[in-house]
Structures are given as structure tokens and as C-alpha cells.
Amino acid sequence: MAAAARMDLDGNPILPMTICMIGAGGFIGSHLCEKLMAETPHTVLAVDVYSDKIKHLLDPPSAAEGQQARHPWDGRIQFHRLNIKHDSRLEGLIKMSDLTINLAAICTPADYNTRPLDTIYSNFIDALPVVRYCSENNKRLIHFSTCEVYGKTIGSFLPKDHPLRKEPEFYVLKEDTSPCIFGSIEKQRWSYACAKQLIERLIYAEGAENGLEFTIVRPFNWIGPRMDFIPGIDGPSEGVPRVLACFSNNLLRHEPLKLVDGGQSQRTFVYIKDAIEAVLLMIENRARANGHIFNVGNPNNEVTVKQLAEIMTQVYSKVSGEAPLEMPTLDVSSKEFYGEGYDDSDKRIPDMTIINKQLGWNPKTSLWDLLESTLTYQHRTYAEAIKRSMAKPVASS
């Protein structure tokens, strides 16, 4: 019996499409590829310089001797190892596709003020050809931006005890009305946000002037297995990943969690599988997604960074069976942790009106559950490797 046709939100049949996914080998890309292979008929041209996180989708499954095993999605995902900075094959892959999704970026806060040129080039200059190829060849584009484009909230400029700081219109971030407020030029931490905002403006202008069909995604701290890297294990020893991976690294190594400037910044966190549901809705509901910018986050999972550290300590103790440290956290200055030129936003709370209206999407997973899923994966994947890396060689006599 033939499977029932899949329908979009307006009752139209969803036809198979070819998707050029740039950055398919990363955290978000790997989860999106999994979703597309498992639940849709679409084909993915996976573009990246690394394929470790999608290796399980590319390699044939093990089979009994004398038999050849195949994935159910065999032939629907092709890996193309290329760097979009200087590879002429990119335009050809975009031409072959119905939709291009650009996930490529430098998006690690420690790099923003220590590698500002690389950050600006990666997030603006290197993205220009992708936008141009899509526009010139009449191809649809889903571009991944960041919640950092909002910068600081209006409320952050009011006195700390001002009653208006508690009013939602002074801190909730709306795609169509909130201003984008950055720090001074010497605060190079804003190099990332500025580059991301400028490419958004370019995409929007291409849509207005040349008819580019686009959707812009602003992720608000997507969390889950395979995110970021654990320094010295599956990433560079000297690297500083984002906050949740930093805390995970500390927990795995039985070290205090470092709170930058007391951990008073407020953030929201959304589970990667919830967020990928939102992206699939954008992919398969072209008319509803076209021309829109979407916040994708979970305002119900709002905590200060200090509270996040406390919850992660509790969750990790449950997952690992290990007692927390007597002194689980350690305060450090932003200058000490990130270097000169660092600055931060006070709150990042997404307004969900537009995505709920256009796509009917709402996140489901609680902060505790998404942390438990992530830390279970990290403990299972990295704990033994970290123990080996920390073991000191015995001195010869």
C-alpha cells in the first residue's frame, strides 16, 4: 500500500526537492540532515569541509556477511567537501538545487574580539557569493543568522532599578520592530553581530529589488547532542566554545564552572530537535516562510547564566552518578576569560508571534529535559576520553 502523500500547512502535497545545505557537517546541519533523511523524500547536497557529524548518514550500515546493507535514504544524501571561500563548484551545486540553506559561520564568542577579521569575513564576505548565486539563478534561500543581531535591549540603558526594565516591550526581541543596538567600535565582540546584521540587510534588499525568495532564521541558543566541541577532545585545546559547552567541559573534567562577570546575563535555550521541527516547517511551507525573519527559541526556558550553571551541575550529578564539587562555580572577569574588547547583551528573550502565526510552531522541551539529553550524550561520548587525556604518565626511574 502506497504511503499517504505528505501535505503542507495549506493542504498542498509536498513534492520532493533537492537541497544544497552549506555547513551540513556541523551541529545544526547534522540534525537537519537526520530529520530530512528519516522523515522526508528530499535529497541533500551536503556541503562542508568536515563530515564527522554526518558520517553515520553517509557510511553504509553494517550487514551480515555476504549481504549488502543499505540505508532507507540510500542515494538521497551526497557529501561535497569544499570550502565556500574559494571553490567554483558552489554555484553549480546551487543551480542543481531547489533550495539552498546556508549554515556556515564562525559563531564562537571567544573569536569575536580575538579574531574579528576572520569573524567578519566568514559571516559577511564569504556569504556574499551564496546570496548572489541564489539571486541570479532564481533559487530559494534559507539563511541562518543569529539572535545576536538584536544586540542590547532597550531596557539595558535604563537604571538597574527602573520599573520599565521589567516591561516586556523593553526587553522582548521582535523580528519586525526591535532595534539592533550594538556597543562601540572598540568593543570588537560586536563584529559577529554586525556582520550577521549586514548580510541580513543584503538578503532583504535582494528580495526587495531582485525578487530573491528568502527566509532568515535567528536561532536563540539551540542546545543538544553534537553541539560545539569539548576542547582537546573533539576540538582545539586552546579553543573556548559557547557557554553550555564550556560548562560541560568543566563538569566532565571535575572543574568549577567559570561564571563570566558573575553570570548575570539572561538567556533562553531551546532543544535542537524542537528547533529542527521549525526549520522543516520553513522548508516545506514555502509560501508561508518566504520573505520572513523568524525567531526560533524558547522563552519559557529563560535563566541567568549563573542559574544555568546550577541546573547543569544538578543534572550532571544525576547523569554521571558523581557528587558535585564543594565549590561548583568560580567567578572570572570577561577580560580574563575573553580578552580585551568583550561586551555582552543583558537579555535575549524571543518574541514568538510571527513563527507561531505563520508556521504554528511552538517549542516543547523543558530546560531540564534538554540539558539531561545533552549531558547524557556528552558523558557517554567524552567522559572516558577526558579521563585518558587527564591521566599523567608515570615518570621513569
Angle between helices 128-136 and 191-210 (to 10 degrees): 10
Q: Which triple of cell numbers denotes residue 293?
A: 525573519
Q: Which triple of cell numbers denotes residue 366?
A: 523543558
Point out which residues pair with 172 in neighbouring strands: 349
Distance CA 229, CA 241 (A): 7
Residue 4 per-residue DSSP state? P
259 backbone dihedrals φ, ψ, rounded to 5°: -100, 110
Which are the contacts of 11, defined by CB distance < 8 A and separation ≥ 6?
Answer: none
SS3 state at 27: helix
Burial class (CB in 10 A: 0-12, 13-18, 19+), 184: exposed
Burial class (CB in 10 A: 0-12, 13-18, 19+), 302: middle
Alpha helices per DSSP H over the chain: 27-39, 55-58, 89-95, 109-112, 116-123, 128-136, 191-210, 243-252, 272-284, 286-289, 305-320, 334-338, 353-359, 367-390
Q: How many CB atoms lie within 10 A of CB 113?
A: 22
Q: Report, as residue numbers or ranges, the catalytic residues.
A: 192
Name the region of 194 (left: φ>0; alpha: ψ -120 to 50; beta: rest). alpha
Q: How many CB atoms lie within 10 A of CB 115?
A: 17
- Edge to edge, what strands does the sheet with 293-296 contain? 77-81, 43-48, 18-22, 99-102, 140-144, 214-219, 293-296
Q: Which triple of cell numbers denotes residue 114?
A: 580575538
SS3 state at 185: coil
Contact predicate 183/153, CB 8 Å: no
Amino acid type, 277: E
Distance CA 253, CA 242 (A): 17
